[in-house]
Amino acid sequence: MDSRELINIINNYNDAVAVDMEDYGFMAATCNKDVEAFIVRGISDNIKNKAKLDIKGKNSKNKNYREVAIKNAIEFAFKIIKRKFFNLY
């Protein structure tokens, strides 16, 4: 993402907490086929103070932000799968 795009997002979508650009191609491809798909992203970065949070996460006694994001994404994905395919809540 270049700086013009980032400035546009901050100025026009200042309530956004994440920007996902990578998954669009995957979802576009599945829409053109008879394929059910979903994407779950674990968000560990913050647009406004990413470098500061990265350093804090690595040097802190607390869990790394990425580890927490991965765990949450996995749990959420499994809940969706359980509901969709096994009718479990």
Domain ranges of the chain: 3-86
Please answer whether residues 6 and 47 qualify as being in contact, where contact means their C-beta atoms are separated by less than 8 angstroms. yes
Dihedral (Cα; 65, 67, 70, 74), 10-degree rounding: -130
Higher pLDDT among residues 3 and 89, named by residue = 3
pLDDT tens profile 28-87: 888 878 888 899 988 877 666 666 666 665 555 545 777 888 999 999 999 999 988 888
Q: What is the pLDDT of residues 4-38, one digit of tens each?
A: 887 888 889 888 777 777 888 888 888 878 888 89
The pTM of this model reads 0.60
Question: How crowded is residue 44: how many other Cβ atoms within 10 Å of its Cβ?
Answer: 19
